[in-house]
Amino acid sequence: MAAVPDTLSVPQVFRDPAALRLALSGRGVIGFVPTMGYLHDGHATLMRQARQACDTVVLSIFVNPLQFGPKEDFASYPRDLERDLAVAASAGVDYVFAPSEETMYPAGFSTRVSVEGVSETLDGASRPGHFTGVATVVLKLLNLVRPDMVFLGEKDWQQVAVLRRMVTDLNVTVTVQGVPTVREPSGLAMSSRNSYLNDEQRARAAVLSRSLRAVQAAYAAGERRTAALRQAGMQVLTGDPEVQPDYLTVVDGNLQEPEQIQAGPESRILVAARMFGVRLIDNMPLLAAEEQA
Binding site, annotated residues for ATP: 36-43, 153-156, 182, 190-193
- The per-residue DSSP string of 252-278 comes to -TTS---SB----TT-EEEEEEEETTE
Report the C-alpha dihedral over residues 5, 11, 13, 14, rounded to 10 degrees: -150
Decide: 161 and 131 in contact? Cβ < 8 Å: no
Report CA-CA distances (Å) from 278 to 85, 123, 166, 264. 26, 15, 29, 31
Decide: 281 and 249 in contact? Cβ < 8 Å: no
Q: Which residues are annotated as a binding site for beta-alanine?
A: 67
Q: Beta 95-97 vs 56-61: how paired, if at all?
A: parallel
How many C-beta atoms lie closer than 10 Å to residue 177's C-beta? 18
Identify which of 248, 247, 249, 252 has the alpha carbon closest to the alpha carbon of residue 262.
252
Question: Is the CA virtual torsion 76, 153, 151, 166 positive or negative?
Answer: negative
Decide: 99 and 62 in contact? Cβ < 8 Å: yes
Report CA-CA distances (Å) from 283 to 208, 210, 213, 234. 9, 11, 10, 14
Q: Which residues are annotated as a binding site?
A: 36-43, 67, 153-156, 159, 182, 190-193
Decide: 235 and 223 in contact? Cβ < 8 Å: no
Identify which of 159, 169, 208, 198 has the alpha carbon closest to the alpha carbon of residue 34.
159
Decide: 210 and 184 in contact? Cβ < 8 Å: no
- Of 24, 43, 60, 151, the catalytic one is 43
**43 an active-site residue?**
yes
CA 152 and chain centroid, separation? 6
Residues identified as active-site: 43
